[in-house]
């Protein structure tokens, strides 16, 4: 069954009117939307619908039918960007399709297009939320509305099967509720990398993969300070006991250290040093279990780290294809939060670069999530970028050839990655610091020499 939050009934009517206006104005065939919510067993709980943007070519009066339509790759690409905004415990559970009878969801061609898009989105979700450690969830939903007066009808789709017709399922509007989950992650990590890998994103995912595996398989966690069974409901089902709307989840990590690690030979001239310190704001439906809540927090942590790294990599002008520098510092984007107006427990996250403001986040939320919110509703103060003093303190904090606090990612004998609230650390050869200190002393001596010469003259 596909359960839509009650408030989406009026929102869907609004989307239908907007689609009909575009159809009359530009001649578009159909409009796609992303069903954002959670899966509970075989049911889909939908909290929000974000419409997929059309390419600018639809406004070209001389364009053909292809310039006024969207294909599977376009929908999947926009969907992959939408995933970065979502809190752990939520995902794109399916697609919405608005079209008249000529291009409705009943068409095998249209359904095939949407299934291909869903398949790509499911793969991207697994990569972003678990680094492909968890299997891809291919069972998703489709909702079609035959405009202008049709009612929503839905089907379950196994998007791993090409040409899957799916099975029809009921679509209904219900009063749904999500529960806020808050947690944090702070760790320091140093990983040797395979020589010759200078691609920042590959460096990052390679360094994080083993840590993420340990996180996902460690079942120990505390819920509001208590150890609870994974199978019990997070919140009591009795209405009189439903007091809590937010839970604090404390997760743990079983390092699973290997035997005789000190005698293990590692051949590498490149290391990535990571420091992490972030807040997690996940959400699960009110009927979720303790285990589902814990998994949602873990999903959020991994998704947040990977989203920041992806955005940083995509925005980097310099291609790191050669080990030219001994050390490179990468400042990753910081988080900006906004709550879904109809479900305050669901907090969306945008990631801002150093010069970005609340206005940039406002535009991103509008473009990718179809959210019309004011700048005052956006929290951009929970995290900040590191300044020069922060970097200097990290440099001077530890001079030993072991783990030192560093922020960045590099392309040569030392790599470190810095995330706004995600500090990552590792070990570096102390010779690097001696060179740096010597260079600073030489520069200071030169300045003093010039000053003395000026005074004497």
50-60: pLDDT as tens digits: 999 998 877 77
Residues 198 and 275 in one domain: yes
- Percent with pLDDT over 70 in the chain: 80
The pLDDT value given to residue 244:
78
Residues 224 and 75 in one domain: no
* Most confident of the ranges 140-149, 240-249, 266-275: 140-149
pLDDT average, residue stretch 298-325: 81
Closest CA to 207 of 296, 316, 309, 353: 309
Q: Are 257 and 211 in contact (CB under 8 A)?
A: no
pLDDT average, residue stretch 230-245: 78
Mean predicted lDDT score pLDDT of the chain: 83
pLDDT at residue 367 above 80? yes
Cα distances (Å, whole numbers) of residue 274 to 133, 159, 416? 20, 36, 6
Residue whose structure tokens are 């990569």: 127
Alpha-carbon span 310 to 313, nearest angstrom: 5
Of 118, 153, 174, the last residue of a domain is: 174
Residue 269 lies in a domain: yes
Residue 442, C-beta contacts closer than 8 angstroms, at least 6 positions apart = none
Residue range 195-223, pLDDT digits in tens: 666 778 888 888 899 999 999 998 889 99
User: In this predicted structure, which of 131-135, 194-198, 338-342, 390-394 has the lowest mean pLDDT?
Assistant: 194-198
Phi, psi of 157 (to 5 degrees): -130, 135
Residue range 18-46, pLDDT digits in tens: 999 999 988 888 999 999 999 998 899 99
Residue 456 lies in a domain: no
Residue 123 lies in a domain: yes
Alpha-carbon span 273 to 426, nearest angstrom: 4
Residues 170 and 186 in one domain: no
Residue range 144-196, pLDDT digits in tens: 999 998 899 999 999 888 767 778 999 999 999 999 999 998 888 888 876 66
The pLDDT value given to residue 188:
80
Residue whose structure tokens are 């979700």: 125
When comparing pLDDT for 270 and 373, which is higher?
Answer: 373
Residues 67 and 123 in one domain: yes
Residue 291 lies in a domain: yes
Residues 167 and 309 in one domain: no
The Cβ of residue 177 has, within 10 Å, a number of other Cβ atoms equal to 16
- Does pTM surpass 0.95? no
User: In this predicted structure, which of 97-106, 310-319, 398-407 has the lowest mean pLDDT?
Assistant: 398-407
Residues 90 and 118 in one domain: yes
pLDDT average, residue stretch 62-67: 70
The pLDDT value given to residue 428:
35
pLDDT at residue 409 above 50? no
Residue 247 lies in a domain: yes
Residue 357 lies in a domain: no
The pLDDT value given to residue 339:
97
Q: Output the DSSP codes for 213-275.
A: HHHHH---EEETTB---TTSBSS-SSGGG---SEEEEEE-----PPTTGGG-----SEEEEEE
Residue 78, token pair as written in the block: 């926009």
DSSP state of 261: G
Structurally, how many domains does the chain consist of? Answer: 2
When comparing pLDDT for 273 and 61, which is higher?
Answer: 273
pLDDT average, residue stretch 376-400: 76
Closest CA to 35 of 86, 92, 119: 92
Q: 3-state class of 417 per DSSP?
A: strand
The Cβ of residue 331 has, within 10 Å, a number of other Cβ atoms equal to 17
Residues 156 and 196 in one domain: no
Residue range 314-348, pLDDT digits in tens: 887 655 544 556 677 778 899 999 999 999 999 99
Name the band, by pLDDT with cuts 50, 70 and 90, for residue 408. very low
User: In this predicted structure, which of 89-93, 155-159, 276-280, 452-456 has the lowest mean pLDDT?
Assistant: 452-456
Residues 293 and 223 in one domain: yes
Name the band, by pLDDT with cuts 50, 70 and 90, for residue 266. low
Residues 122 and 145 in one domain: yes
Residues 170 and 230 in one domain: no
Alpha-carbon span 111 to 453, nearest angstrom: 80
The pLDDT value given to residue 265:
54
Residues 243 and 161 in one domain: no
Range of the domain at 304: 178-331+386-427
User: In this predicted structure, which of 32-36, 47-51, 100-104 has the lowest mean pLDDT?
Assistant: 100-104
Side-chain-side CA neighbours of residue 435 (13 Å)? 7
CATH of the domain at 93: 3.40.140.10
Residues 186 and 161 in one domain: no
Q: How far is CA 173 from the centre of its chain?
A: 28
pLDDT at residue 435 above 70? no
Residue 295 lies in a domain: yes
DSSP state of 330: -
Residue 365 lies in a domain: no
């Amino acid at each position: 069954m596909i359960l839509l939050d009650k408030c989406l009934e009026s929102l869907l009517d609004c989307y239908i009117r907007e689609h009909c206006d575009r159809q009359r104005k530009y001649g578009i065939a159909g409009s796609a939307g992303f069903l954002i919510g959670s899966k509970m067993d075989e049911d889909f709980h939908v909290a929000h619908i974000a419409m997929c943007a059309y390419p600018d070519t639809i406004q070209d009066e001389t364009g053909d039918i292809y310039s006024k339509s969207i294909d599977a790759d376009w929908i999947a690409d926009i969907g992959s960007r939408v995933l970065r905004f979502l809190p752990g415990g939520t995902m794109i559970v399916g697609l919405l399709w608005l079209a008249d009878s000529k291009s409705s969801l009943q068409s095998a061609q249209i359904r095939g297009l949407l299934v291909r898009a869903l398949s790509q989105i499911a793969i991207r979700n697994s990569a972003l939320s678990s680094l492909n450690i968890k299997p891809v969830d291919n069972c998703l939903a489709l909702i079609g509305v035959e405009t202008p007066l049709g009612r929503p009808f839905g089907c379950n789709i196994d998007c791993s099967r090409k040409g899957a017709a799916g099975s029809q399922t009921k679509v209904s509007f219900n009063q749904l509720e999500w529960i806020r989950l808050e947690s944090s992650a702070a760790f320091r990590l140093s990983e040797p990398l395979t020589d010759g890998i200078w691609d920042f994103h590959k460096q990052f995912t390679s360094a994080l993969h083993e840590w993420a595996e340990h996180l996902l398989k460690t079942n120990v966690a505390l819920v509001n300070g208590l150890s609870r069974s994974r199978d019990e409901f997070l919140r009591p089902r009795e209405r009189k006991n439903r007091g809590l709307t937010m839970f604090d989840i404390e997760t743990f990590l079983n390092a699973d250290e290997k035997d005789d690690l000190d005698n293990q030979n590692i051949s590498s001239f490149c290391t990535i040093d990571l420091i992490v310190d972030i807040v997690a704001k996940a959400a699960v439906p009110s009927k979720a279990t303790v285990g589902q809540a814990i998994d949602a927090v873990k999903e959020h942590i991994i998704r947040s780290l990977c989203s920041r790294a992806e955005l940083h990599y995509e925005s980097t002008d310099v291609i790191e294809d050669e080990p030219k520098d001994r050390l490179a510092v990468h400042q990753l984007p910081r988080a900006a939060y906004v709550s879904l107006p109809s479900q305050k427990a669901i907090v969306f996250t945008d990631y801002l670069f150093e010069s970005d403001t609340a206005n940039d986040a406002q535009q991103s939320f509008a473009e990718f999530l179809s959210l019309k919110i004011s700048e005052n509703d956006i929290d951009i103060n929970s995290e900040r970028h590191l300044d020069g003093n922060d970097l200097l303190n990290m440099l001077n904090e530890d001079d030993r050839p072991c783990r030192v606090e560093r922020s960045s990612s590099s392309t040569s004998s030392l790599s470190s990655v810095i995330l706004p609230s995600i500090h990552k650390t590792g070990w570096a050869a102390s010779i690097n610091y001696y060179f740096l200190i010597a260079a600073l002393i030489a520069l200071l001596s030169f300045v003093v020499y010039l000053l003395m010469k000026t005074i004497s003259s």
